Structure 1
Amino acid sequence: MLEISPRKVVQVIFQAREKQVAEAELRAFIGAMNEDEKASLVALTWIGRETYEAGELAEAIATAKAEASTPTENYLVNMPLFADYLEAGLEAIGISPADVEEDFFDR
Protein backbone atom coordinates (compact mmCIF):
# COMPACT_ATOMS: atom_id res chain seq x y z
CA MET A 1 0.00 0.00 0.00
CA LEU A 2 1.28 3.42 -0.93
CA GLU A 3 2.29 5.35 2.18
CA ILE A 4 2.10 8.83 0.63
CA SER A 5 -0.80 10.71 -0.89
CA PRO A 6 -0.82 10.86 -4.70
CA ARG A 7 -1.25 14.60 -4.31
CA LYS A 8 2.13 14.89 -2.58
CA VAL A 9 3.74 12.79 -5.30
CA VAL A 10 2.32 15.06 -8.00
CA GLN A 11 3.60 18.08 -6.09
CA VAL A 12 7.08 16.52 -6.05
CA ILE A 13 6.83 15.80 -9.80
CA PHE A 14 5.80 19.39 -10.46
CA GLN A 15 8.65 20.79 -8.34
CA ALA A 16 11.17 18.37 -9.86
CA ARG A 17 10.28 19.53 -13.35
CA GLU A 18 10.93 23.09 -12.20
CA LYS A 19 14.18 22.01 -10.55
CA GLN A 20 16.31 24.86 -11.85
CA VAL A 21 13.99 27.33 -10.12
CA ALA A 22 12.88 25.33 -7.08
CA GLU A 23 15.56 22.78 -6.19
CA ALA A 24 15.98 24.07 -2.63
CA GLU A 25 12.20 24.07 -2.17
CA LEU A 26 11.98 20.52 -3.56
CA ARG A 27 14.75 19.28 -1.26
CA ALA A 28 13.05 20.91 1.73
CA PHE A 29 9.65 19.45 0.79
CA ILE A 30 11.03 15.91 0.50
CA GLY A 31 13.23 16.35 3.58
CA ALA A 32 10.20 17.29 5.69
CA MET A 33 8.33 14.09 4.80
CA ASN A 34 8.13 11.21 7.25
CA GLU A 35 10.10 8.02 6.62
CA ASP A 36 7.10 6.15 5.21
CA GLU A 37 6.44 8.89 2.65
CA LYS A 38 10.11 9.02 1.65
CA ALA A 39 10.24 5.25 1.22
CA SER A 40 7.11 5.37 -0.94
CA LEU A 41 8.67 8.06 -3.16
CA VAL A 42 11.77 5.94 -3.63
CA ALA A 43 9.67 2.83 -4.29
CA LEU A 44 7.57 4.67 -6.90
CA THR A 45 10.75 5.87 -8.56
CA TRP A 46 12.10 2.32 -8.69
CA ILE A 47 8.81 1.06 -10.15
CA GLY A 48 8.89 3.85 -12.72
CA ARG A 49 12.37 2.90 -13.86
CA GLU A 50 11.33 -0.78 -13.86
CA THR A 51 13.60 -1.96 -11.05
CA TYR A 52 10.43 -3.35 -9.45
CA GLU A 53 7.04 -4.28 -10.87
CA ALA A 54 3.88 -2.51 -9.71
CA GLY A 55 2.80 -5.64 -7.85
CA GLU A 56 6.01 -5.46 -5.81
CA LEU A 57 5.18 -2.07 -4.24
CA ALA A 58 5.25 -3.38 -0.65
CA GLU A 59 8.60 -5.07 -1.25
CA ALA A 60 10.02 -1.93 -2.87
CA ILE A 61 8.89 0.20 0.09
CA ALA A 62 10.41 -2.27 2.57
CA THR A 63 13.69 -2.29 0.63
CA ALA A 64 13.74 1.51 0.46
CA LYS A 65 13.32 1.68 4.24
CA ALA A 66 15.96 -0.98 4.90
CA GLU A 67 18.56 0.40 2.50
CA ALA A 68 18.17 4.13 3.16
CA SER A 69 21.69 5.44 3.72
CA THR A 70 21.60 8.79 1.94
CA PRO A 71 19.11 11.58 2.60
CA THR A 72 16.17 10.80 0.33
CA GLU A 73 16.07 14.32 -1.07
CA ASN A 74 19.70 14.01 -2.23
CA TYR A 75 19.19 10.55 -3.69
CA LEU A 76 16.11 11.50 -5.68
CA VAL A 77 16.95 15.05 -6.77
CA ASN A 78 20.31 13.90 -8.13
CA MET A 79 18.71 11.08 -10.14
CA PRO A 80 18.33 11.83 -13.86
CA LEU A 81 14.70 11.55 -15.01
CA PHE A 82 13.45 11.48 -11.39
CA ALA A 83 10.14 13.21 -12.23
CA ASP A 84 9.53 10.91 -15.21
CA TYR A 85 10.16 7.83 -13.06
CA LEU A 86 7.78 9.07 -10.37
CA GLU A 87 5.09 9.73 -12.98
CA ALA A 88 5.58 6.29 -14.54
CA GLY A 89 5.50 4.70 -11.08
CA LEU A 90 2.16 6.28 -10.26
CA GLU A 91 0.75 5.16 -13.61
CA ALA A 92 2.06 1.64 -13.06
CA ILE A 93 0.13 1.30 -9.80
CA GLY A 94 -3.04 2.62 -11.43
CA ILE A 95 -2.99 6.28 -10.39
CA SER A 96 -3.30 8.88 -13.14
CA PRO A 97 -0.95 11.80 -12.41
CA ALA A 98 -3.02 13.96 -14.77
CA ASP A 99 -6.21 13.31 -12.77
CA VAL A 100 -4.43 14.04 -9.50
CA GLU A 101 -2.90 17.18 -11.01
CA GLU A 102 -6.31 18.43 -12.12
CA ASP A 103 -7.64 17.91 -8.60
CA PHE A 104 -4.53 19.58 -7.14
CA PHE A 105 -4.87 22.72 -9.23
CA ASP A 106 -8.69 22.91 -9.04
CA ARG A 107 -8.55 23.50 -5.29
Structure 2
Amino acid sequence: MIEISPAKVVHVIYQSREGDMADRELHAFIRGLNEDEQAHLVAIAWVGRGVYEADDYAEALATAYRERAVPTDKYLMGMPHLAENLEAGLEAMGIDVSAEEESFLRDH
Protein backbone atom coordinates (compact mmCIF):
# COMPACT_ATOMS: atom_id res chain seq x y z
CA MET A 1 0.00 0.00 0.00
CA ILE A 2 2.51 2.65 1.05
CA GLU A 3 5.75 2.99 -0.86
CA ILE A 4 7.85 4.63 1.81
CA SER A 5 9.50 2.62 4.52
CA PRO A 6 7.95 3.02 7.96
CA ALA A 7 11.46 3.76 9.26
CA LYS A 8 11.62 6.88 7.05
CA VAL A 9 8.22 8.06 8.28
CA VAL A 10 9.35 7.53 11.88
CA HIS A 11 12.50 9.55 11.12
CA VAL A 12 10.34 12.47 9.94
CA ILE A 13 8.02 12.14 12.96
CA TYR A 14 10.84 12.30 15.48
CA GLN A 15 12.86 14.95 13.64
CA SER A 16 9.80 17.21 13.38
CA ARG A 17 9.44 17.05 17.15
CA GLU A 18 12.99 18.24 17.73
CA GLY A 19 12.12 21.84 16.90
CA ASP A 20 14.21 24.52 15.26
CA MET A 21 17.55 22.78 15.74
CA ALA A 22 16.49 19.87 13.52
CA ASP A 23 14.63 21.90 10.87
CA ARG A 24 17.54 22.09 8.43
CA GLU A 25 18.23 18.37 8.81
CA LEU A 26 14.58 17.50 8.30
CA HIS A 27 14.28 19.69 5.21
CA ALA A 28 17.33 17.93 3.76
CA PHE A 29 15.97 14.48 4.70
CA ILE A 30 12.61 15.10 3.01
CA ARG A 31 14.30 16.62 -0.08
CA GLY A 32 16.45 13.48 -0.23
CA LEU A 33 13.42 11.23 -0.56
CA ASN A 34 12.40 10.26 -4.07
CA GLU A 35 9.22 11.66 -5.60
CA ASP A 36 7.19 8.56 -4.74
CA GLU A 37 8.28 8.62 -1.10
CA GLN A 38 7.47 12.32 -0.83
CA ALA A 39 3.99 11.81 -2.30
CA HIS A 40 3.31 8.94 0.11
CA LEU A 41 4.47 11.05 3.05
CA VAL A 42 2.01 13.79 2.08
CA ALA A 43 -0.82 11.28 1.59
CA ILE A 44 -0.18 9.72 5.01
CA ALA A 45 -0.26 13.18 6.62
CA TRP A 46 -3.54 13.97 4.86
CA VAL A 47 -5.10 10.76 6.13
CA GLY A 48 -3.91 11.68 9.62
CA ARG A 49 -5.43 15.16 9.34
CA GLY A 50 -8.75 13.68 8.25
CA VAL A 51 -8.63 15.19 4.77
CA TYR A 52 -8.95 11.62 3.43
CA GLU A 53 -10.07 8.37 5.01
CA ALA A 54 -7.64 5.46 5.05
CA ASP A 55 -9.85 3.71 2.47
CA ASP A 56 -9.28 6.68 0.14
CA TYR A 57 -5.49 6.48 0.34
CA ALA A 58 -5.10 5.91 -3.43
CA GLU A 59 -7.04 9.12 -4.08
CA ALA A 60 -4.93 11.02 -1.54
CA LEU A 61 -1.79 9.75 -3.23
CA ALA A 62 -3.00 10.71 -6.70
CA THR A 63 -3.84 14.17 -5.41
CA ALA A 64 -0.41 14.51 -3.78
CA TYR A 65 1.24 13.82 -7.14
CA ARG A 66 -1.14 16.03 -9.11
CA GLU A 67 -1.24 19.07 -6.83
CA ARG A 68 2.40 19.37 -5.85
CA ALA A 69 3.00 23.10 -6.19
CA VAL A 70 5.75 23.81 -3.66
CA PRO A 71 8.69 21.66 -2.58
CA THR A 72 7.41 18.85 -0.39
CA ASP A 73 9.77 19.65 2.47
CA LYS A 74 8.43 23.21 2.69
CA TYR A 75 4.83 22.04 2.44
CA LEU A 76 5.18 19.42 5.16
CA MET A 77 7.31 21.56 7.46
CA GLY A 78 4.64 24.25 7.24
CA MET A 79 1.92 21.80 8.28
CA PRO A 80 0.83 22.26 11.90
CA HIS A 81 1.18 19.08 13.96
CA LEU A 82 3.09 17.16 11.28
CA ALA A 83 4.27 14.42 13.65
CA GLU A 84 0.78 13.87 15.03
CA ASN A 85 -0.72 13.81 11.53
CA LEU A 86 1.78 11.21 10.36
CA GLU A 87 1.20 9.06 13.45
CA ALA A 88 -2.57 9.28 13.06
CA GLY A 89 -2.31 8.46 9.34
CA LEU A 90 -0.21 5.37 9.98
CA GLU A 91 -2.57 4.27 12.73
CA ALA A 92 -5.64 4.81 10.55
CA MET A 93 -4.08 2.63 7.89
CA GLY A 94 -3.21 -0.08 10.41
CA ILE A 95 0.56 0.31 10.07
CA ASP A 96 2.43 -0.51 13.27
CA VAL A 97 5.74 1.33 13.54
CA SER A 98 6.63 0.47 17.13
CA ALA A 99 9.68 -1.58 16.07
CA GLU A 100 10.92 1.29 13.89
CA GLU A 101 10.37 3.74 16.75
CA GLU A 102 12.40 1.59 19.13
CA SER A 103 15.18 1.28 16.57
CA PHE A 104 15.22 5.04 15.88
CA LEU A 105 15.37 5.90 19.57
CA ARG A 106 18.11 3.34 20.17
CA ASP A 107 20.21 4.70 17.29
CA HIS A 108 19.74 8.38 18.13
State the percentage of identical aligned residues.
55
Aligned position for 1:83: 83
For structure 2, the 5+ residue unaligned runs are none
- On the 8 A contact 1:90/1:96 being kept in 2, the answer is yes
- Residue deviations 1:24-47 (CA, integer Å, cap 9, x gap): 000000011111000001000000
Cα deviation digits, residues 39-64 of structure 1 (max 9, x gap): 00100000000000011111111110
> So what's the TM-score if we normalise by structure 1?
0.93
Alpha-carbon distance in 2 for matches of 1:7, 1:23: 18
5+ residue gaps, structure 1: none
Task: Establish whether residue 17 from structure 1 lines up as the match of residue 17 from structure 2.
Answer: yes
Cα distance, 1:104 vs. partner? Answer: 3.6
Q: Would you say the 8 A contact 1:43–1:57 is kept in 2?
A: yes
Matches within 5 A, 1:85-100: 85-100=85-100
Equivalenced residue count is 107
Relative to the length of structure 2, the TM-score reads 0.92
TM superposition shift of 1:106: 5.0
Alignment root-mean-square deviation, CA = 1.3
1:48-94: CA deviation from partner (whole Å, max 9, x where unpaired): 00000011111111110010010000000011101110110011111
